[in-house]
Amino acid sequence: MRALGTELPGLSRKPLGEHNYPPGQHGQRPKRKSEYGLQLIEKQKLRMNYGLTERQIQRLFREAKQSRGPTGEKLLELLERRLDNFVFRAGFAPTTIAARQLVRHKHVLLNGKRVDIPSIRTKPGDQITLTATGKRIPATIESLEQPSLERPQWLSFDTASTTATVTRTPAPDEVPFPVEVQQVVEYYAVRL
């Protein structure tokens, strides 16, 4: 987060604090970034926050490019619709990484069925809840009491049954951190 200069809620709950400069011995010197450097930083923000490999984000970019509408907005929508992100944004896990682990360990029920694939794409009407074992995990209990982020408008949460439902597709402006998605589009336009 210090290297990218932005707090990424999906990566860590910790704030940047007083060390809001890049890490390392020479991190306190102001450096001018090239156009490539700025594009790379924006791409890395998306990769790190959502916990994706380079191949995964390239695949999503190709899919966004082939769809109708602006490529950048579609890319953000595809990232927000991932199951692991939905579990995180619903407040079941403190970070996206922890949400992915919940899914991989089969503690998440999607529409009443156990799933273990974090990249499943959710759609309006999908419901998630945790298994009985998943509800007893200390990190999950703590996260439900104090969610990392405020729940977005595109999902509804029922506290009585601890169930979250997708009400609509997420909008690009509902990404929980500042990102210039056009820089990401320009980065991949040259490379793919």
93, 126: one domain:
yes
Matching residue, tokens 């082939």:
66
Give residue-wise pLDDT tens across range 132-146: 999 999 999 999 998
Residue 67 has phi, psi (to 5 degrees) of: -85, 170
Note the pTM of the prediction, 2 decimals.
0.85
Distance between start and end Cα atoms, the chain:
26
User: What DSSP designation does 155 have?
Assistant: E
Number of domains making up the chain: 2
Q: Which pairing describes strands 163-166 and 113-115: parallel, antiparallel, or unpaired?
A: unpaired
Encode pLDDT of 41-100 as tens digits. 899 989 988 889 999 999 999 999 999 889 999 999 999 999 999 999 999 999 999 999
pLDDT at 19: 67
117 & 189 share domain? no
Structure tokens at 150: 């405020």
> For residues 180 and 172, what is the distance between their CA atoms, to the nearest angstrom?
11
- In three state form, how does the secondary structure of 9-40 look? CCCCCCCCCCCCCCCCCCCCCCCCCCHHHHHH
Same domain, 66 and 119: no
Nearest in space to 129 (alpha carbons), one of 84, 94, 163, 89: 163
Is residue 4's pLDDT more than 70?
Answer: yes
CATH number at residue 74: 1.10.1050.10
Q: Which domain holds residue 162?
A: 82-169
Do the Cβ atoms of 96 and 84 come closer than 8 Å? Answer: yes
Q: Which amino acid is at 183?
A: Q
Give the span between the Cα atoms of 144 and 19, in whole angstroms.
29
CATH of the domain at 136: 3.10.290.10
